[in-house]
Amino acid sequence: MNHIIRLVKTSDSEEILKIYAPFINNTTISFETKVPTIGEFSSRIEATCKLYPYLVYQVDDKIIGYAYATKHRERDAYRYDVDVSIYVLPEYHGSGVAKKLYDCLFKILKMLGYVNVYAACTVPNNKSLKFHAKFGFLLIGTHHKTGYKFGQWHDVTWLEKSINEHIDKTDKVKSIEELALESLENIFSSC
């Protein structure tokens, strides 16, 4: 079997949405309540991957997981921060796929100049909390009863991880399009 991690392509939208849709329809892991159309989902992917890394994990010709970063907040002072998300087919949970995706994602984010990484987790979700703790994420707080889905209110716990030093910053972060292809290939081969 051929295992690769690579940047997303717009043509991956349908396959990625098949991974994501059950999390929308059957869980509170995602707070979306309606599965987006392929067009809507493709537009999201396209907008994200212009600035941020959006990775897929592929086994032979099948995508089995994906991870990406997005803007943390609107104000300029937050420019060194990102939010991250990761989704893996349930049959690959515990297989190391998610670890490899996050390893690559964080290496790329570090090279782009980001400092802080944030993840949100609907609770209870001990599996996700333990997974993020293994990556050095620390609990920073909980938004209580912040999302309403499946007829009840849900809490969301926020986690943070620093991937670069907190030093005086005058340089801007790079977009994923500014990163040399060779640098990306080196990261992908190291994961």
Cα 177 from Cα 184, distance rounded (Å): 11
Q: Does residue 164 register a pLDDT over 80?
A: yes
User: Can you list the domains of the chain with their CATH numbers?
Assistant: 3-174 (3.40.630.30)
The percentage of residues in the chain with a pLDDT greater than 90, rounded to a whole number, is 86
Beta-bridged to residue 118, according to DSSP, are: 83, 160
pTM, whole model, 2 decimals? Answer: 0.94
Q: Which of 70, 62, 129, 134 is nearest to 96 (CA)?
A: 134
Q: Which of 106, 92, 165, 107 is nearest to 137 (CA)?
A: 106
Sign of the Cα torsion 130, 48, 37, 154 reads positive
Contact 113, 75 (CB under 8 A): no
Q: According to the model, what pLDDT value does residue 54 have?
A: 97
Render pLDDT for 15-63 as a digit per residue (tens, 0 to 9).
999 999 999 999 999 999 999 999 999 999 999 999 999 999 999 999 9
